[in-house]
Structure 1
Amino acid sequence: MVSARRAFAGELPISAMPRLCEVLADRAGVAQYEMAFGRDELGTACLDLKVRAPVTLLCQRTLEPFVLPLAVEVRLGMIRAENEEAGLPPGCEPLLIGADARLKPAEVIEDELLLALPLVPMDPQGALPAAEATSPDEDEAVANPFAILRELKRS
């Protein structure tokens, strides 16, 4: 693929990526991808990958599901051993391939989507539920657990 400078484009259902589905609130959706194999200016075998996918996550602020559109654009330098990583040019992420030089595109797409997920998903449109109004005395008791002792001392 690298020597022939092959390029592919297509769609991959979110439900076909089991590791990604484990962290999502819903398996619906389709990832659109573009892959282009080639060599960089140093002769390193590389893969240019673009992925766009709407994923459904659980907002950690509101605990409601929301759709987050992910967009990944990355250049992956294909290496066979970890010590080759130092020889990759700047801006090129390592992609460790096996001795047989076989690559599973669906796994590469899934890996990159997993890396693009936020550590703590929060819906930018989500708002916290309205807090119930409390009296000032209740607020003070919650803020200062010793407020009750102060009242006992006064009596």
Structure 2
Amino acid sequence: MVSARRSFSGILPVSGFPRLGEVIASPEGDVKYELEFGRDEFNVRYVAVRIEAPLTLICQRSLEPFVMTVNVDTRLGLIVNENEESGLPPGYEPLLVEEDGRLDPVTVIEDELLLVLPLVPINPDAELPDDIVGPDETEQDSSDTPPNPFAILRELKNR
């Protein structure tokens, strides 16, 4: 595929990724992907990976499910042994392939999706419930607030 500079694109169901299914809230949705194989000007074999997927995660703030669209745009340098990693140009992530150079595209896509997931997913639109946060300060009645013990000092200072 590298020599022929092949590229693949398509759509796969999120449910087709078993390891990803273990860490997301719902296997609904589709993953759009593009894989482009080639060699760069340094003769480094690579696969360019572009992925877009709406994934349902559990917000760790509200404990409610929410959809987070993840995008991946990376270039993976194809290496056969770990010693080749140091020879990769900047901007390349290493991808260890079998001696025969074969790789499973679905596994590559799944690995990249797993790597881009946040450790602690938080919905940016989520708010904490009032019983956790407490009432808003503007809602508190001033008669309910205890007297300030330093109010006497303030009066003495102003004299």
Deviations 1:59-82 (A, max 9, x none): 000000000000000000000001
Say yes or no: does 1:112 pair with 2:112.
Answer: yes
Task: Provide the C-alpha distance between the structure 2 equivalents of 1:117 and 1:126, rounded to a whole number of angstroms.
Answer: 18
Q: Which letter maps to 2:43? A: G
Structural mapping, 1:1-155, within 5 Å: 1-131=1-131, 132-133=134-135
> What SS is found at the alignment partner of 2:50?
strand
TM-score (norm 2): 0.83
Q: Which letter maps to 2:115? A: L
Q: Which letter maps to 2:109? A: I
Q: How far 1:136 sits from its partner (Å)?
A: 6.0
TM-score (norm 1): 0.85
> What SS is found at the alignment partner of 1:114?
helix
> What SS is found at the alignment partner of 2:113?
helix
**Residue-pair matches, total:** 137
- Higher mean C-alpha displacement, 67-76 vs 125-134: 125-134
Q: Which runs of 5+ in 1 are unaligned?
A: 138-155
> What SS is found at the alignment partner of 2:125?
coil
Task: Provide the C-alpha distance between the structure 2 equivalents of 1:75 and 1:11, rounded to a whole number of angstroms.
Answer: 20
Task: Provide the C-alpha distance between the structure 1 equivalents of 2:12 and 2:51, rounded to a whole number of angstroms.
Answer: 10
Task: Provide the C-alpha distance between the structure 2 equivalents of 1:49 and 1:19, rounded to a whole number of angstroms.
Answer: 19
Q: How far 1:95 sits from its partner (Å)?
A: 0.4
Q: How far 1:100 sits from its partner (Å)?
A: 2.1
State the Cα RMSD in Å.
1.4
Could you list the structure 1 runs, at least 4 aligned residues long, displaced by more than 4 angstroms after superposition: 132-137
Task: Provide the C-alpha distance between the structure 2 equivalents of 1:127 and 1:41, rounded to a whole number of angstroms.
Answer: 50
Q: How far 1:41 sits from its partner (Å)?
A: 1.4
Larger radius of gyration: 2
Deviations 1:63-120 (A, max 9, x none): 0000000000000000000111000000000000011211100000000000000010
- Higher mean C-alpha displacement, 58-67 vs 97-106: 97-106
